[in-house]
Chain A
């Protein structure tokens, strides 16, 4: 069976510090990978998605970036965090053309102070 992991589970960072969130998927190969953000009391915002190693599509211009160094690893980064980067970050994966179910990780709660 497939599992998806995210770490850390929670993170408190000062404004201006760097960020690295990691997501890994087990039990499947060549998945589509996604990063979403949920700000407090708001819905899901798709940040990035990837259909293969080194292939990253950005949905929203911002100070975040994503990388996919391995088939089942997806990393979300920032060089300098802003207060507005606070939120709940969710990683997800899917198969094929992306039209079917996305499977979500447990999330990372990021607080920028």
Chain B
């Protein structure tokens, strides 16, 4: 099974709402990633978890709060978002973080398309 799943596929939320994005993989990968992607732009790294510990936070605003409950699951909690946060949020995994930079395949989920009103 080489699949990364994400729910929900689409999400519309107001600026005062609290919502969560979920990501799951069962490939035994120990590195998991959150990316944000705007239209016609490349994915931008937000967070990296390695062995369930936060390894990289790319100076993401605190209204985005990641969580890794176990080695298969990754959540992104959203609170008080702004309209400019509307984007495709992609989750990815790779066997380990240390080797991901050396060409280990990153497996991406289909993403959650988020609209903040």
Q: Do A and B come from one complex?
A: no
Q: What is B's interface to A at a CB cutoff of 8 Å? A: none
Chain A residues at the B interface, C-beta cutoff of 8 Å? none
